[in-house]
Amino acid sequence: MWQKACKWFSYSVQAILLKTAKPGDRGLIWQNIGTSFAIKRKPNPLFITNAHVICSDNGEPYDNKNLAFVTHLSSDKAVVCGISIKIIEKTLDIAVFEASKEGEDILPVRFADPTVLQIGTSVASIGFPIPKDPILTPTGGQLTTNRRLATGFISSNECLVKFDQLTRALKHYEINMFSYPGLSGAPVFDINGFVVGINRGSRLFETNIAAYGYAIRGHEIIMCMEKNGIEIEVNPNS
């Protein structure tokens, strides 16, 4: 039931990379740290993700030169693109960045009408889970980034989640869905392929991955884009 939407998102959803120190070595390698998706193609390609994906633990954004993302235009080809951060809204955990020209060959997502979804609504998300251990090429760097689909349903549509002080008053969707590390910043979408939210994270029980996650709702995302003068495509009849 999700095949059509997944085909569309394969040209919209991309992995975000950070240049980090190689374990046991002084060199630097690219590693997957999260997920992003395209919201605009022209005049310059724009992508959205979580602010916490592109910010360090102290809350400061990473240097642009140490960030990149990978476009997967075919099954056997990936292109690394540069990033220029444009917007960081920490109270919403939202960030928008502009991609270099290599990222032009993408399809922007379509957003659903910004109404709050009812409990029980079927939703899905697609992104790039982070491997437990880095898979390195002979010259260093992560060898593969695997796109994966997760499905579930809305279990709460106004859940308060205390991830941090800045977003403690932000209402979320709670989704009964496996939410793996690395899906932060991934789109949450309905059965018709319209984006209804952005994955933000999950609760862990000891060392186990929780069977539910939390997403920023579409209403707050669209308000953020309007506030910052970014035009996005919204389906008025969704």
- Considering the four listed CATH numbers 3.30.70.1450, 3.40.50.300, 2.40.10.10, 3.20.20.140, the one that applies to the domain covering 3-103 is 2.40.10.10
Asked if the model's pLDDT at residue 220 lies above 50, the reply is: yes
pLDDT at site 73: 45
Domain boundaries, the chain: 3-103, 111-235
Token pair in block for residue 100: 């270099």
**Could you report the per-residue pLDDT of 112-141, keeping only the tens digit for each?**
988 899 999 999 999 988 766 655 555 555
More confident residue, 125 or 20: 125
pLDDT band at 204 (very low <50, low <70, confident <90, very high): low
Nearest in space to 48 (alpha carbons), one of 38, 56, 58: 38
Q: What is the separation of C-alpha 114 from the centre of its chain, rounded to a whole number of angstroms?
A: 18
Percent of the chain, pLDDT > 90?
Answer: 37
Assign domain 111-235 to its CATH superfamily: Trypsin-like serine proteases (2.40.10.10)
Q: Which residues contact 153 (CB under 8 A, 6 or more apart)?
A: 120, 121, 122, 123, 175, 176, 177
* % residues pLDDT > 70 (the chain): 79
Q: Residue 20 pLDDT > 70, yes or no?
A: yes
Q: Is 110 within 8 Å of 235 (Cβ atoms)?
A: yes
pLDDT of res. 133 = 62
Q: How many helices (H) and strands (E) does the chain have?
A: 2, 14
Strands (E), the chain: 13-21, 28-40, 46-49, 67-74, 77-89, 94-99, 111-112, 122-127, 148-160, 171-176, 187-189, 195-205, 208-217, 234-235
pLDDT of amino acid 237: 67
Q: Are 24 and 93 in contact (CB under 8 A)?
A: no
pLDDT tens sequence across 175-190 = 998 777 788 999 999 9
What is the rounded distance in angstroms from the CA atom of residue 92 to the CA atom of residue 53?
A: 13
Cα–Cα distance for residue pair 198/13, rounded to 1 Å: 12
User: Is 22's pLDDT higher than 80?
Assistant: no
What is the arithmetic mean of pLDDT over 40-55? 89
- Higher-confidence residue of 235 and 53: namely 53
Average of pLDDT values for 166-171?
A: 87
Quick check: do 3-103 and 111-235 share a fold? Answer: yes
Beta bridge partners of 217: 197
Neighbours of 126 (CB within 10 A): 24
